[in-house]
Amino acid sequence: MAPFRLLLRVRYGECDAQQVVFNARYGDYVDVAATEFYRSVFGSYQNLLEQNLDSQVVRMTIDWSAPARFDDVLQLEVHTLRLGNSSFALEVDIRRQADQAAIARAEVTYVMVDAQAFTKAAIPDAIRAQLERGAPGVTVNQAG
């Protein structure tokens, strides 16, 4: 089954003097993809907060394969890579939609926290099941 997908169009202001997407923008892209993945998995981010839970990024790595350029439509595929007791990792595969060329791959590790105290919290079974299931077949199109 197809994974969760987010489509984003590269905007002019996201490019650097070399006329490619500036490296720091990829962190933004990954964050938007993770937020939309959360929305699809949990119904809304608010649903997580209403359970007195939140998550914080503790690690992000990005490996680049090719540049993205102004007006490219990027396809970001997100799935849960690992689930621990209080942490989980998402993998975000970034491709140029037109030709499916690999652009970058990111891995983001989150720690589940108590939304009030910001202390580590175990991932509840229901949330664990939602993360394991993911959002297969869902495509969010922000490319316009």
Cα distance between residue 84 and residue 2, in whole Å: 24
The total of structural domains in the chain comes to 1
Q: Is the pLDDT of residue 48 over 80?
A: yes
Domain CATH for 89: 3.10.129.10
Cα distance between residue 71 and residue 51, in whole Å: 39
**Which is nearest to 66 in space by CA: 21, 33, 24?**
21
Expressed as residue numbers, the domain containing 69 is: 4-142
Residue 8 near residue 140 (C-beta atoms within 8 A): no
Give me the phi and psi of 141, to 5 degrees please.
-105, 105
Per-residue confidence band for 2, with pLDDT thresholds at 50, 70 and 90: confident
Q: Is residue 30 helix, strand or coil?
A: helix
**Which is nearest to 88 in space by CA: 54, 44, 128, 120?**
128
Q: Is residue 32 helix, strand or coil?
A: helix
Q: Is the pLDDT of residue 1 over 80?
A: no
pLDDT 10s digits, 100-140: 999 999 999 999 999 999 999 999 999 999 999 999 999 99
pLDDT 10s digits, 53-109: 999 999 999 999 999 999 999 999 999 999 999 999 999 999 999 999 999 999 999
Identify the DSSP state of 85.
Answer: S
Residue 53 near residue 96 (C-beta atoms within 8 A): no
Q: What is the pTM of this model?
A: 0.95
